[in-house]
Amino acid sequence: MPRFITVATTAEIPPGEREVFEVEGLYIGVFNVSGTYYAIEDRCTHDDGPLAEGDLDGFTITCPRHGAQFDIRDGRVLAMPAVIPVPWFPVRVEGDAIQIGLED
């Protein structure tokens, strides 16, 4: 069972928006897609690019550095040059708090 940590309120990330948070030494990008939140590490597995700054099309994020693509729902690689999935995190909403789950 992951530990859930509050990173923001729902009002801070409206639909279509995203924010990056530092959580226990990790930079995590949190995305609101049509009212559902998704979280991935803000570090491309190809060469550490700032992944959460990339273009988002549906659930596909494109790394701004060399164009690798990932699915923000589960971190899987959709396009080279990355070959390793990006870490993703469970997200839940408690009241108006957005919480990210971290494994110990």
Site residues for ligand FES per CB under 6 A? 44, 46-47, 49, 63, 65-68, 81-82
CA distance 16 to 102: 24
Min separation Cβ 24 and ligand FES, Å: 23
Q: Is 32 helix (H, G, I), strand (E, B) or coil?
A: strand
Min separation Cβ 38 and ligand FES, Å: 18
The residue among 1 and 83 lying less far from ligand FES, judged by its C-beta, is 83
Closest CA to 92 of 53, 47, 39, 45: 39
Q: Is 62 helix (H, G, I), strand (E, B) or coil?
A: strand
The residue among 67 and 87 lying less far from ligand FES, judged by its C-beta, is 67
Min separation Cβ 101 and ligand FES, Å: 25
Closest CA to 63 of 13, 78, 32: 78
The residue among 86 and 91 lying less far from ligand FES, judged by its C-beta, is 86
